[in-house]
Structure 1
Amino acid sequence: MTDPRAAKDAARAQARARRDSLSDDQMRAFAADALRERFLEELVRPGLIPDGPVAGYWPLGSELDVRPLLLHLRSGGLRTGGRSIALPVSGPRGQALTFRDWDPALPLAAGRYGIQEPGADRPEVVPAVLLVPMLAFDRSGHRLGYGAGYYDRTLDVLRAVRPVLAVGMAFAVQEMDAVPHGAHDERLDWILTERETLRFTQ
């Protein structure tokens, strides 16, 4: 029988190499802009996302950059109405993330993994929409993360309190035929790439 952990580790190595191969900065900028427009056109303007804060992430390594979308939402750009936006704060491995309001005019601090985070003086928020980074995804709504369990635990905790819309953000090249997953892996509601939108819940 295949070891699930070994299968995930092998998939992570493959997925990371594939994502890291996207070295063209112009293509990356195009993808970030395309994701912003796709999110606004297909989720915001039809009213498919709930009211409330939107939590994104500060890109780590070769992750897709969602900051253009977050800044647009915060500024109250066309038809968005202006929203509170937040970034995650990492605690001990395997625990749920917390989120703090992000004011782009204020300095950030390096967190547990060297990722930029809002300072401790920023208010904590509970997101209604969560933009989720990943190494890979498949067409059943499963994602492959880094193995620390942060997002699975976070979605489990948030969904136990109230609905939260989990939107995976990825490059199209990050798609896999089937992501190895277990009983505790949380599925996403949507996945957006620069090429298409995948919806898994009604």
Structure 2
Amino acid sequence: MTDPRAAKDAARVRARARRDSLTDDGVRAFAADAVRGRFLEALVRPGLIPDGPVAGYWPLGSELDARPLLLHLKAAGRPVALPVSGPRGQALTFRDWDPAQPLAAGRYGIHEPGADRPEAVPAVLLVPMLAFDRSGHRLGYGAGYYDRTLDALRAVRPVLAVGVAFAAQEMDAVPCGAHDERLDWILTEREALRFTQ
């Protein structure tokens, strides 16, 4: 019998290597712009995207850069937030992002809004990942931040979970467990995948 944790760890190593191998800045910029376009084309329709803030993330390492989408939404008047990471094992909190304001270095050195920015409860959550499959599962880094966050948010109100990734991050089947939260959408530079109605 395969140990689920060992299977996930092995999958993370492979997935990180695959994502890290995408070193061409032109390919990365194209993917960021294409994901922005897919979000606007597929999700910005009446009744599909809930009212309220869209929470993104500041890219870490080789993650797909969601900032072009966040900047577009902010310019269009949509509230935009970024996560503030707390203690390991806790759900993320979010603060309003003003691109004109400096960011603080948070846990793991990730840029995040300072304590002076108001908290926000996202209606849409853009989720980074190491890998995904065609059933809506994602492979994260192993700390469980996004799974706990989605569980906590979904217990209070509907939230649309949108994974963003490079198409090359797809794998046949992501190892998953009972506490892994499924995504509603996954957007890549090639396509928009919808998993919920």
TM-score above 0.5, yes or no: yes
SS of the residue 1:147 aligns to? coil
Mapped to 1, the partners of 2:14 and 2:181 lie a distance apart of 21
Gaps spanning 5+ residues in structure 1: where?
77-81
Aligned with 1:128 (options 113, 123, 137): 123
Residue 75 (structure 1) aligned with residue 70 (structure 2): no
Deviation larger for 36-45 or 135-144: 36-45
**What RMSD over aligned residues (CA atoms) do the two structures have, in Å?**
0.7
Deviations 1:45-104 (A, max 9, x none): 35421111000000000000000000000001xxxxx21000000011111000000000
Aligned letter for 2:169? Answer: Q
Aligned letter for 2:104? Answer: A
SS of the residue 1:39 aligns to? helix
Mapped to 2, the partners of 1:196 and 1:47 lie a distance apart of 21
Aligned letter for 2:19? Answer: R
Following superposition, the deviation at residue 38 of structure 1 comes to 0.6
Matching of residues 83-94 of structure 1 within 5 Å: 83-94=78-89
Residue 106 (structure 1) aligned with residue 101 (structure 2): yes
Residue number in structure 2 paired with 1:13: 13
Mapped to 2, the partners of 1:117 and 1:142 lie a distance apart of 26
TM-score normalised to the size of structure 1?
0.96
SS of the residue 1:14 aligns to? helix
Gaps spanning 5+ residues in structure 2: where?
none
Moved over 4 A (4+): none
Deviations 1:113-140 (A, max 9, x none): 1000000000000000000000000000
Q: How many residues align?
A: 197
